[in-house]
């Protein structure tokens, strides 16, 4: 029997022509169909996608802003090595989560979360305003309710808000840009079926413990509970196949 050939991924079936060009080229890059050093021509992109020169150039501009290609005068558009990519950009994260590198992406992002989020929780316990602490507590309570009800979409929105709020409450301007990365992970996990309909009770409890610790100013407890959330996530999403009890 011959080897099966996987069809190229197109990440968007909606949106503008520009969106489709960008996302299809993104698929080509993350799935290795466009290797480092490959040279593309604007005319070829126009022909391939049936778009105007302005649309092709705008798509290249987006990829260039992500560190994935560069324009070389009198040569064309050269694909850059992966080390040059902006791996923390939510667009790059979403493409890699949708592609064959999902497991590696989840592992590396989980390891980064383990470094970032417990620190953010620790700092938030020292610096969060009373209003922020109260909002975190309300979010954790509501997340438990929606998790128990199996409201995946509603739970995701609160989960994103919860984790972004902790990072914002850390008061550290170097951590704040990491919130986009965390949001991309949470949304990607749900979009690709790695978030269970009913989150594990431990995950829900740890979210409440983080909120409680921040309100109490207990930086050690806040960091510990946050680390538990992320560590469970890493252990669960890197299993093949993922189990139904993925933390968030």
Q: What pLDDT, in 10s, does the model give residues 44-54?
A: 999 999 999 99
Question: Does one domain contain both 224 and 107?
Answer: yes
Write out pLDDT tens, residues 185-198: 888 888 888 788 99
Tokens of 158: 């609160």
Write out pLDDT tens, residues 21-36: 999 999 999 999 999 9
Dihedral sign of CA atoms 220, 226, 232, 238 in order: negative
Question: Does one domain contain both 137 and 218?
Answer: yes
Q: Are 214 and 121 contacting, i.e. CB atoms less than 8 angstroms apart?
A: yes
The pairing of beta strand 76-79 with beta strand 69-72: antiparallel
Strands of the sheet containing 69-72, edge to edge, are 39-40, 76-79, 69-72
Task: Provide the terminal-to-terminal Cα distance of the chain, rounded to the nearest Å.
Answer: 41
Q: Which residue has the higher pLDDT, 69 or 102?
A: 69
Q: Are 67 and 87 contacting, i.e. CB atoms less than 8 angstroms apart?
A: no
Total residue length of the chain: 248
pLDDT of 9? 41
Lowest mean pLDDT among 84-88, 123-127, 150-154, 240-244: 240-244
Could you give the number of structural domains in the chain?
Answer: 2
Residue where one domain finishes, among candidates 84, 110, 135: 84
| pTM of the entire predicted model | 0.79
Q: Are 137 and 215 contacting, i.e. CB atoms less than 8 angstroms apart?
A: yes
Question: Does one domain contain both 134 and 208?
Answer: yes
Over 50: is that where the pLDDT of 19 sits? yes
Q: Are 245 and 183 contacting, i.e. CB atoms less than 8 angstroms apart?
A: no
Among 19, 22, 11, CA closest to 64: 22
246 DSSP assignment: -
pLDDT of 15? 63
Residue 10 lies in a domain: no
Question: Does one domain contain both 139 and 35?
Answer: no
Residue 2 lies in a domain: no
136: domain CATH number is 1.20.120.530
83 DSSP assignment: G
Domain that holds residue 33: 17-84
Question: Does one domain contain both 21 and 106?
Answer: no
Residue 170 lies in a domain: yes
């Amino acid at each position: 029997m011959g080897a099966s050939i996987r069809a190229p991924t197109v990440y968007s079936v909606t949106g503008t022509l520009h969106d489709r060009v960008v996302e299809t080229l993104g698929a080509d890059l993350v799935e290795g169909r466009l290797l480092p050093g490959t040279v593309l021509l604007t005319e070829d992109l126009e022909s391939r996608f049936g778009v105007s020169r302005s649309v092709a150039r705008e798509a290249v501009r987006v990829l260039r802003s992500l560190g994935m290609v560069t324009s070389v005068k009198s040569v064309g558009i050269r694909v850059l090595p992966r080390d040059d990519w902006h791996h923390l950009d939510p667009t790059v994260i979403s493409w890699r989560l949708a592609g064959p590198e999902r497991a590696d992406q989840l592992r590396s992002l989980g390891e980064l979360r383990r470094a970032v989020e417990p620190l953010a929780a620790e700092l938030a316990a020292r610096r969060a305003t009373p209003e922020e602490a109260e909002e975190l507590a309300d979010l954790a309570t509501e997340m438990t309710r929606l998790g128990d009800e199996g409201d995946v979409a509603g739970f995701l929105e609160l989960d994103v808000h919860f984790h972004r709020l902790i990072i914002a409450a850390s008061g550290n301007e170097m951590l704040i840009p990491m919130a986009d990365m965390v949001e991309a992970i949470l949304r990607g996990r749900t979009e690709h079926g790695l978030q269970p309909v009913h989150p594990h009770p431990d995950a829900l409890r740890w979210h409440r413990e983080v909120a409680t610790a921040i309100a109490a100013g207990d930086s050690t407890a806040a960091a510990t509970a946050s680390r538990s959330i992320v560590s469970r996530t890493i252990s669960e999403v890197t299993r093949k196949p993922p189990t139904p009890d993925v933390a968030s």
